[in-house]
Amino acid sequence: MHKTLMDGMSRELKELRQEVAILRDSFALLRDEMEMLRNSLQNTQVAQNASPLYKEAMQMAILGHDALTISERCGISRAEADLVVSLIKNGKPQ
């Protein structure tokens, strides 16, 4: 009986360890998704607070457009568009 009890406890411990590993992986994925959402929200807030001249450029950069496209569509210089793209990629414009 003692061996059967030990075997059962060993199986249960193994299952619990597997569940903990799955929960850790799920938590790590959720943490990464939350960080991506936080960055996206920050970029959106920055675009909303931008000068009207650069608002569209910032929104386009958030959507992933390149500097040349932004420059042509928004009527700003390529250097300005490069700066907007760089700020959005770094996630720290303010």
Domain, as residue range, for 57: 2-90
Q: What domain count does the chain have?
A: 1
Residue 87 has pLDDT above 90, yes or no: no
Per-residue pLDDT band for 93 (boundaries 50, 70, 90) equals very low
Q: Please name the helix (run of DSSP H) or strand (run of DSSP E) that holds residue 47, with its range, or none.
A: helix 2-49
The predicted structure's pLDDT at residue 48: 67
C-beta separation of 63 from 76 below 8 A: no
The predicted structure's pLDDT at residue 14: 95
Residue 94 has pLDDT above 50, yes or no: no
Give the dihedral of Cα atoms 65, 67, 72, 75; nearest 10 deg. Answer: 110
Enumerate residues 6+ apart whose C-beta is below 8 A from 86.
Answer: none
The string of pLDDT tens digits covering residues 18-65 is: 999 999 999 999 999 998 888 777 777 766 666 777 888 988 999 999
